[in-house]
Every structure is written in C-alpha cells, then in structure tokens.
Structure 1
Amino acid sequence: MTGLLRAEWTKFRTVRGWVLGMVLAALIIVLLGVFTAANNYSSCEGPDGDDCPAVPLGPDGSAVNDRFSFAHQVLDGDGEVTVRVASLTGTITYPPPDHDKIVPGVVPWAKAGIMIKESVRQGSAYAAMMVTGGHGTRLQHNFDGDAAGSPGASWLRLTRAGDTITGAESADGVRWTTVGTVRLAGLPPIVRVGLFAASPCDLTVTQGDLGGTIGKCRLARAVAAFDHVSLAGNPWTHDDVGAMRGAPALSQGAFRESGDTFTVSGSGDIGPYGLEGGQPVERTLSGAYTGLIVVIVVAVMFITAEYRRGMIRTTLLASPRRGRVLVAKALVLGAVTFVTALIAALVAVPLCRRILRGNGNYLLPVSTATELRVVLGTAALLAVAAVLALAVGALFRRSAAAVITAITVIVLPHVLATASVLPVELSQWLLRLTPAAGFAIQQSVPEYPQVTGHYVPQMGYYPLPPWGGFGVLCGYAALALGLAVVQLRRRDA
C-alpha cells in the first residue's frame, strides 16, 4: 500500500494543472473571504449618534443578552428567598405603520421570578427561578443553563449556600419540589437578590412571495405581580439592567410597591446571543463554498484523466488489486485537499477578522475548541467532498458528467437551502439528507431552545449538529467510494 500511495502522490504533484487547481482553491478561500469582509460594514449606531454599546460577555466569555427589569436588595452571605408570582401579563406593540397599536399578550419566553445575581453589571453570574409565558417554570443560570420545572407552579424559591444555588417550585406554597441545583463559581459573599421581569420580542415568521421566510420581531413587555415575598426590612433598588439611553418608553422597566404586592414590568431577555449578536467565525470562511467547486473539478480529473488517456490500464497492471488503487487515490487526494484547505483557513480567519473589526463589526467570541472545530472541520469538509467527487468520477468515467453530478449533490443543495428560495421545511430536509449536511461542521453558534430565534438555514442554522451533519457527508463519500471499488473490480478498464 505504501508503494501505491507514493505512486499516486507522484502522479498528483507532477501534473501541473492539478497542483495549480489546489493553489487556486486556496487563493479563492482567502481572497473571497477578504472581499466579503472588506464589503461588510456595521451600520450600528446608538440613539445619540454614538456607536452602539458592546455586546456583554457572560462568565464563560461568550456573548450574552442581559437586559431586564430588576428590583433588588443586598444579600450578604447565605440565605433564602420565596415569592409567589400572582400573575404574568404583557403587551405587544406593533411597529409602523401600526406602531400605535398595543395589544395584550405574553410571548412564550416572557419570564418573571426571583434572581440571585453577582451584580447589576451586564454579563455577571446569576441564577433565577422563573415563571414563563408558555414553558412552565424554569431554573436558569449563567445565560445558557436551563432546567425545566412543572407547568402549573407559581411559588418560587431560591436558596444560596456559598456558591451553590438551589431552585424549587410549589403549586400551593406548602409542598416543594427541587427543580435543580447550580454552582456559580467565584460568587462573592455580597450579591443582589430580588424580583425581575423580561420579555423578548414577539417573533412572527411568514412565507415570502419568492420562497424563504420573513421574520418580524415586535416589541413585547412583561408585567408580573408578586406577593408572599420573603424579603422584608431592606430598601428596594430598581435597575433597568442593560437599558439603552433614549430607548422608547414602552421598552423601559418599572417597579411599584403596593402593600404586600410588588409589580415589576420590563422588556428584554436573559440568555445567550445567537447569530444576530454579531459576525460568527465561519463568516471568515465564506470563500470555502467557491473553493470547493475548484476542488471538485480537480478531484474528478484525478481519476477521469487516466481513463481518457488510457493510463488506467497501466495502473491496474502494476497493481492487480484494483480496490487498493482507488483507495490510494482517495487517501492522497483527501490528504492534499485537507492540508491545502487548512493552510487557507489559517490565513483567512485572522486576516478577515482584522478586516471585519476594522469595518466596525462585532465578532462573536467562541471557545478555542469551537474555533478549532470550525477551522479543522472546514478543511475536513473539503477533503471528504473531494473523495466523494473522486468516487463519482470513477463511477462516471467522464469528466463533465462527474463534475456536474458532484456539484449538484454537494454544493447545489446548500445554495438552495440558504438562499431563501425554498420553504424552510424543504431547506432543512435538504441539509439533513444530502451531502450538503456536512456544512453544519462550520456552525459555531448553536440553537438555544430557551431563546426566541429564527433558527433556519437562511440565518446560518443547520438542522443537524456539526458532527452529525459531517457524518452524513462521510457516509455518502464512503458509499460512493465503495460502489466505485465494486464497479472497478467488475468492469474492464
């Protein structure tokens, strides 16, 4: 097998067109990424003409949404707070031309309850026990932690012991059920504890005239009434956490105390940011789609050129075990493509990042592991797609037919699914069932079930998890290569 690998590598590197093709693919990945970044400017501007505030970062360094109405007191050391959410109502404001139309309504992820938070600084650690508009009670913490309670409980309790917070719920205030326990590492002795309310926008999605979808996000406001509040004797402070200067009055929070009843109202959300929060790391690799087409052409030519020139007979005479010949070609082609794409990605990512930042764009922070997965995954995506194209070339033995077929099954489904020309359901099925599912390996920001969002391919979200989608592509490549090996063994060269 070593001799076959050496022979196939020698063939590849001695054909100038194939080598130049790989160089061209790498240049396309870098240059198209630079072109896209250079033409991507941020239009974000604050109400007073200044730049919009930076996206807050959570305890783990990820971008978060931390905007809510908070009536709080000081909690020094361990303690417990219990409340009953007597009611949760809300309003929805329609934008122009119906901007004066305000209707009652509570969106499913409107939330109100009790919270222990490190401080009122955006992004600081917290744990909250809450009632939601349509998802029952929840224990949420540090923006992406979410544990479900029951749908009918209205009594809420948070207990602090050091940096451990326990959330519990009850339907009658007598029988309590623990929803979960979370740890807020490094929580200081003095924290803030109190009542909060928040409501993300009312998201509606309609079908566009030319396919795809149109999403509208209407301003929503939650109003929560609390009683049986165990906090007593200390002065209350109200903060509209994360509120922007000059924001519309309808989006501002409020707090009112009347006897033993407390009312908190507010807009916003508490949770991780999605792709709407800024530019994801995969945006720097937008040239990979076009570079893949060049890789497909080179991969097909790597096998069909031998059939066209009759050299395949010489190759098979030198190695009678035909299957090994095709496997050796796949290994050499896959390795060359992976290294080429990896070098291009390592150049494109930091270069395009610098350009995007220079144009005023905010880049979503990701963990080192996620960024490595995106960069290495993109290189692996192109490598496996090259093997699939090679197998298609071996099956067709004709360059034009093989190139068209490979592009049709790998690239075209992704273009159709992300270009807003197909219904969402069809787009999602294309990215589940075709080799284009492999592009999911590039997604750096996951879909969060506890966050209102438009999670569709057109917005950069894939229906399969990154490694699941990549596994679909690998399955197609393995199947096609297996069929090509069987055909090569049965048919004359």
Structure 2
Amino acid sequence: MSAVEAPTRPGGDRDGGLRSALRAEWVKFRTVRGWLIGLGVAGLLCVLLTYLVANGIHSGTCTGTGVTCRSGHPRVPTGPGGEAVADSYRYLSRPLTGDGSLTAQLASFTGRVSTNPVNVAPSPSATRPGLADWAKAGILLTPDTTPGSSYAAVLATGRHGIRFQYDYTHDRPGRGAPAASRWLRLTRHAGTITGYESADGVAWHEVGVAHLAGLPDTVRVGLFVTSPVSFHGQTGRPTQATAGFRHLTVTGATGGGWRSRAVGTSRADFYPILAAGGARSTGDTAVLTGSGDIAPAVVQGVLGTNTAASSLLLGLLVGSVVLIVLAALFVTGEYRRGLIRTTLTATPKRGRVLAAKAIVIGGVGFAIGALAAAVAMPVGDHILTGNGVYVFPAGPGTVSRVVVGCGLVTALVAVAVLALGVMLRRSAGAVTAGVVVFVLPYLIGASLPGTAETWLFRVTPAAAFSVLGVLPRSSLVDYPYTFANGYYPLPPWAGLLVLAGYVAVALGAARLTLQRRDA
C-alpha cells in the first residue's frame, strides 16, 4: 500500500514556504490593535522625550563668524567642509598677489604650560617649561584671517616632526627631521599651494600639495605659531609656544608691510588659550608667541557634548522598552492561548516559523526606530539651537547613519527579545530579561568609572548605542576621547556587530529550544 503525498502548494513547498509564513505572521501582528497602538506609542515617546530633553538644556554659544555673543559663551568657527574647527594662532603676515613664495628658517621653538588649577584662569606668570606635542610653527597662506577660513601651511610641531596641513582635516608628514633649524617654504601657483622642507636651505623636499578652491588673486602669507591644550589623563592645561624665524625671503607681488594679528583669541572664541602672545620682527628675523590650535574642534569641556543625536538617547531607550514588550507578546501570547500549536501545524518546519516571526518583528522594529529617529533628530537640533546651545555639525551622511543605526538597534533588540520569548514562554520573564540584557547595561555603564565603563560599552549589548556617537575624533588633536566626554569606545558599526552577535546566539538557542520542546 503506497503512501499518499500531500498536495504541493505553488512554489514547490507542501507545508507553505517562508513567504506564506511571513504573510501569516504579519497578518497576526497587524490585526492586534493594541500592538499597532504600542508601535505608535514607542515612536511618539521617542520624539516627545527628545523634545523634553533638548528643551531642558539652556546655555549660550555663538557659531559662525558673528561677533555678538552672550557673555561667557564661546563662538565656534566652521571650516570649509562644514565641520567645527579650532582656529586660534598668532600670525605675522603680508598680502601676496598672484604667484609667489615665502621661505624661512625655524631657528628656535620653545613652549610653556600653565600650572594653575583647572578651575583657575591661566596666566603667563604661572607656567613651567614645556612644548605641547601638537604645538605648531611655520608658514601659512590664507585668503582671509576670519576663523574657519581655508588655509594651507607647512609647519614644525612639538613632537610630530614637519607637516603639511590644509583646511583643518588634511595632513601630510614630512621626513620626520627635528623641528629646530629646519628650513620651510610655501609656494603658490594659482590655486595650488605646495609646502617644502630643507635641512640646509639648499636641497628641498616636497612635503605636500593642496588645491584650494576659489582662492582669490590676493591672499595673505606669513609666519604663525600656536599651541593647543595639553592633556595628561583627563586634565587639560593651556599652553603657549614661542618660535624664532630668520632668513625670511618673499617672492612675488607683495603690497604693504608685515602685520601681526592674534586670530581667534578674543573672549568670544572657544579655544582655551594661555595668553594672546605677540610678534616682533626686524629685517629678515621674527619672533612669535601664540596659543590655541588650527585643527578639528573637540569638546574641550566648555562646549558640553551636545550633538544632533545626544538628546535622542532617552527616547531611544524608552522606545526600546516598549518594543521589548511588543516583541515578547508577539510570541508568548501564542503560548499563553495555545495558538502556537495551530501555527506549528500550519508550518511544520519550526525554524521557518521562528525566521518569519523574527523578520516581521525585526522589520517593524527597524521601521519605527528609524522613523522616530528621523523625526526626533531635527526636533532636538532645533530646540537646542533655539536655546542657545552649541550643537556639533553633522552632515547628511552622519544624520542618515544615525537614523539607520537607530532602526537597526531597535530591530535587533526586538528580534533578540522574540528569541527570549520562545525560550521562556512567559511575557513577564521575556520582558524582564530583555530590559536587563539590552537596556540596563547602558544605565549601569553611564555611572561606572573609566575602565569598567569602557569595557561595558565594548562587550555588552550597550555597545550598539555607539550609533549615536557623532562627535569628531582626530589624530591631529591630543584629547581623551572617553565616554565621559561624549565619545563611545567603539565605532558605530562595530557596536552594532556586538549586539548582532548577542542576537545570533539568542536566535540559535531559541531554534534549538523550539525544535526540542513540545509546543
């Protein structure tokens, strides 16, 4: 007697393919009105809490190039690429029309470090000898001395040798020769600026080339010196550098004499300085003293850690808790009512049932997380800016990355809690486990000391919240890039991979449980 085969459905799968399972699970989800309302609540809470957090932060910070600032609050310049920059230095310059060059020998380079307590204003009288690693002295060409203007410079540093830098984020190392007694040359040909170094002023080595767009016919070229805050651990101290130049040689059409100016060092400017410094020149020699930096801006304490995503955190956490509840109910509700037997009868391949549920709840989680972030971020930015708070610039690519990252975080958390629901079969247990594993580590980590905090945000699911990190990092700035200063220990996608690893383990365990245990 031969067995009678069950009729095969279209697509060649007699127990219903993944598509059929997906359709069934989606119908289950969308027909429960309470779950749809829960999704709306999750999104609204994210936006509302972002608004409340942003509205509770009030301070004043000037941005751009204006000079009107609220008392005690700094102005942060914006660079050619739209990034926040530090642009403070002592400049001894003259006009240059058309092509030309400036050559000089850096004869001496020394520095001072403030010894005043952190909460006491720095003063030149309270210092000790010391040259900051990224103190800079050399030749700089710029169309405008307004902070944030485009520039190109060949320079010596305290501990990083000779460099060619332009527009704050671009850096080319020289041959690494000692800074003292080095010859430097900067040439202009139309919009192309080239930096050279030499040990004897005879044999020259090209360090780097920059093409500055929109460079006017007349620019300023001259000598500069600057010295940034020096950090030892979490404590930063203002510094000052003094550079001596000789054998100044200018070629090309120059009009007017040398003029000394402190760029970006007024009370309205954001970069902490030891003193404004000064410049003196005689014939073909000059000595400059200055403080500040020419580099990407970092928090530097005075600015706080406000970003386009900083006010989003609380809303994302609370929204994740609501999704945790929905994800748990999506599977435990069937166990409680005994409907899981019907589901497994309709789709006997249990792994397929789990996959269909995971795709549905993950898709729903991604959609609500990304949509909420897309609405909440501009709301938070608008409120913070209206309250006079400085918000670090974030381009469209960064904003898109945060939006997608938030969607992936909520999707992965929802899938992981679904897996917990399969294993525990109880709503209370799955929700509690989800909150403890995926939300609590962040709350604990924010209150732990440095090392423990760093490891918690590296190895627990809290690492995924690094998608909210948009503060700039730069190898050109010595700074403690710690969580306390607003910097996550992992890059955004690395943090997501940590969370994805936990989700994969949870799904694997859920599948084994579903296969081996009766419904």
If the length of structure 1 is used for normalisation, what is the TM-score? Answer: 0.90
- What percentage of residue pairs aligned between the two structures are identical? 45
Quote the residue 2:287 is aligned against: 263
Contact 2:308 2:377 in 1 (8 A): yes
If the length of structure 2 is used for normalisation, what is the TM-score? Answer: 0.86
1:244 maps to which of 266, 269, 285: 266
Quote the residue 1:63 is aligned against: 84
Asked if residue 112 in structure 1 is aligned to residue 137 in structure 2, the reply is yes
Q: Distance in 2 between matches of 1:258 and 1:26?
A: 67
Q: Distance in 1 between matches of 2:136 and 2:71?
A: 31
SS at match of 1:444: coil
Contact 2:273 2:292 in 1 (8 A): no
SS at match of 2:250: coil
Higher radius of gyration, 1 or 2: 2
Asked if residue 469 in structure 1 is aligned to residue 495 in structure 2, the reply is yes
Q: Distance in 2 between matches of 1:224 and 1:449?
A: 23
Quote the residue 1:15 is aligned against: 32
Q: C-alpha offsets along residues 330-374 of structure 1, whole Å, 9 cap, x if unaligned?
A: 111112122222332233222222221221112222211111111
Contact 1:337 1:383 in 2 (8 A): yes
Q: C-alpha offsets along residues 360-411 of structure 1, whole Å, 9 cap, x if unaligned?
A: 1122222111111112221222112211222233233333443333333322
Quote the residue 1:33 is aligned against: 50
1:254 maps to which of 256, 265, 278: 278
Contact 2:138 2:154 in 1 (8 A): yes
Quote the residue 1:428 is aligned against: 454
RMSD: 2.6
Asked if residue 282 in structure 1 is aligned to residue 309 in structure 2, the reply is yes
Contact 1:112 1:197 in 2 (8 A): yes
Q: C-alpha offsets along residues 25-71 of structure 1, whole Å, 9 cap, x if unaligned?
A: 21221121111111100055999964745422111222211111111
Quote the residue 1:387 is aligned against: 415
Quote the residue 2:15 is aligned against: none
Contact 2:308 2:380 in 1 (8 A): no
SS at match of 1:95: coil
Q: Distance in 2 between matches of 1:310 and 1:275?
A: 56
Q: Distance in 1 between matches of 2:344 and 2:273?
A: 78
SS at match of 1:41: coil
Quote the residue 1:230 is aligned against: 249
One-letter amino acid of the counterpart of residue 283, structure 1: S
1:309 maps to which of 326, 337, 340: 337
Q: Which runs of 5+ in 1 are unaligned?
A: 206-214
Deviation at 1:188, TM superposition (A): 1.6
Quote the residue 2:41 is aligned against: 24
Matches within 5 A, 1:313-328: 313-328=341-356
Contact 1:388 1:480 in 2 (8 A): yes
Asked if residue 86 in structure 1 is aligned to residue 107 in structure 2, the reply is yes
Q: Distance in 1 between matches of 2:189 and 2:236?
A: 40
- Structure 1, 50-59 or 315-324: larger mean CA deviation: 50-59
- Structure 1, 184-193 or 44-53: larger mean CA deviation: 44-53
Q: C-alpha offsets along residues 121-180 of structure 1, whole Å, 9 cap, x if unaligned?
A: 111110111111122222211111122234324332222222222223333434433322
Q: Distance in 2 between matches of 1:413 and 1:109?
A: 37
CA 1:47–1:199 in 2, change beyond 3 Å: closer, same or farther? farther
Contact 1:418 1:460 in 2 (8 A): no
Contact 1:165 1:183 in 2 (8 A): yes
Q: Distance in 1 between matches of 2:478 and 2:368?
A: 39
Q: Which runs of 5+ in 2 are unaligned?
A: 1-17
Q: Distance in 1 between matches of 2:472 and 2:433?
A: 31
Quote the residue 2:391 is aligned against: 363
One-letter amino acid of the counterpart of residue 261, structure 1: T
Q: C-alpha offsets along residues 66-117 of structure 1, whole Å, 9 cap, x if unaligned?
A: 1111111112222232222222211122335876522111121111111111
Contact 2:238 2:273 in 1 (8 A): no
SS at match of 1:221: strand
Deviation at 1:275, TM superposition (A): 4.2
